[in-house]
Amino acid sequence: MRWAVLAMLFISGGAAGAEGSGGAAVAPQARAEAPKPPTKIYRYLSGGTVSFSDRPPGHDRYVILTYGCYACNPTSTIDWRATRLYRDAFADEIDHAARQFNIDPALVRAVIHAESGFNAQARSPKGAVGLMQLMPATARRLGVANARVPRENIRGGVQYLAGLLARFRNDVVLATAAYNAGPEAVQKYAGVPPYAETQVYVQRVRILHRRYQGLP
């Protein structure tokens, strides 16, 4: 008797406090290439050891893990210290929102890069939308009329990020962890939650932040 797939887990982060994020493959005009669709990772037992692969194993006893957030896949092979940066994409919108909420624009760029890969049409399996991956409820709370409009999405995402920075006393690590996992999770664990997705997300945002700060 063949085994059925055990479960499908959508593991994702986003500006709505771990309510979801991710990317679609439709590129906006402001960028030359779109991020890859969410990566499927197959988790299975091999000789009593948990193993992971980007290809299905030769049997049906596995779990599919789908990482929606562009930078959330713990097994990503992207070189985050060398991957292309988007210096000019949505520059006016980012700079305006960063000034409005007194945030480093390099951090905004890093979060956008990590959330959607600068894909304005990105949509996660759970419904998070746009560059900064706003969930509908969060967008409404922030007064975002249309989260698909880059200016509105960025303004809402930056406002949300500014609130997290204020809550965690300008600790960028904790604020970005909260952006992915939710502020309650950060509060619960008094630090970065022990979730593989959140831990790699925070690391990659830090790398991207430093690289965007170093741009001329």
pLDDT value of residue 120: 93
Q: How many domains does the chain have?
A: 1
Half-sphere exposure of 175 (CA within 13 A, CB side): 22
Rounded to an integer, what is the distance from CA 53 to the centroid of its chain?
21
* Residue 32's CATH number: 1.10.530.10
| Partners of residue 52 on adjacent β-strands | 43
Which residue carries 């709370």 as its tokens? Answer: 141
Cα separation of 36 and 154, whole Å?
21
Cα separation of 56 and 186, whole Å?
34
* Averages of pLDDT over each 10 residues, the chain, 216 residues: 29 38 30 38 60 65 63 90 96 98 98 95 86 94 96 98 98 97 95 94 98 95
Query: What count of other Cβ atoms lies within 10 Å of the Cβ of residue 95?
Result: 14
The one-letter amino acid code at 215 reads L
93 is catalytic: no
Domain that holds residue 87: 1-216
- What sign for the dihedral angle of Cα 48, 54, 55, 56? positive
Cβ atoms 44, 57 nearer than 8 A: yes
Residue among 19, 115, 152, 197 flagged as catalytic:
115
pLDDT value of residue 63: 59
Which residue carries 């992971």 as its tokens? Answer: 52
* Length of the chain as a residue count: 216
> CB neighbours of 63 closer than 8 A, spacing ≥ 6?
5, 6, 7, 8, 9, 42, 43, 44
pLDDT value of residue 60: 64
C-alpha triplet 192, 174, 209: angle, nearest 5°: 110
C-alpha triplet 130, 181, 41: angle, nearest 5°: 75
Q: Is 153 helix (H, G, I), strand (E, B) or coil?
A: helix
